Amino acid sequence: MCGELDDGPPGQKLEDHLYASFLAHARRLLAATERGKPGGDSISGYADRLFADALSRASRDCERLDEAGRYETLSVQALVFARLAGVLASHLALNEDPLRKLMEAAMHGYGEAEKLAPDHGHFHDGEDGFSHRHS
């Protein structure tokens, strides 16, 4: 029922919904990238392809696992990519303000999830078959 999470281990249903939301978001981003076919040798085309490759790998790795390990893997992936971003940014010139750019990119990605569904404070399966978080 809307506003209630199904019975199950404490926290498990919330984690399932969060993972389902990630997967829906990843699929939409990858579909948009595929439609846009980032190409050419431009730096923005390269960045779009690298992003799509990393997101595709992350979602594939999760999907290969049983349901119990998917959310935990997703949470580790976020830390690994943040660490990688830090390593890369630490080798950029300080006058380029790499930490600011890194934080802006992270906040942009974090904010994209809010654009997918209205926020009403709880989870439920939407008409599109995907789980949504509403506040």
d(CA 45, CA 134) in angstroms, rounded, equals 34
Q: Residue 21: its pLDDT value, please?
A: 93
9: left (phi over 0), alpha (psi -120 to 50) or beta: beta
Segment 31-62, tens digit of pLDDT: 988 887 756 678 888 888 999 999 999 999 99
Q: Residue 7: its pLDDT value, please?
A: 53
The residues, ordered by sequence, that sit 6+ positions from 122 with a Cβ below 8 Å of its Cβ are 2, 3, 4, 133, 134, 135
Q: Residue 72: its pLDDT value, please?
A: 96
> Along the chain (135 residues), what's the average pLDDT of each consecutive run of 10 residues?
50 87 94 75 88 96 94 96 94 92 92 65 43 42
Q: Residue 39: its pLDDT value, please?
A: 63
Looking at the domain assignment, is residue 2 inside a domain? no
Tell me the residue range of the domain where 116 lies: 12-134
Looking at the domain assignment, is residue 3 inside a domain? no
- How many structural domains compose the chain? 1
Looking at the domain assignment, is residue 7 inside a domain? no
- Whether pTM > 0.75 for this model: the answer is no
Looking at the domain assignment, is residue 60 inside a domain? yes
- Cross-strand pairs, 122: 134
Looking at the domain assignment, is residue 5 inside a domain? no
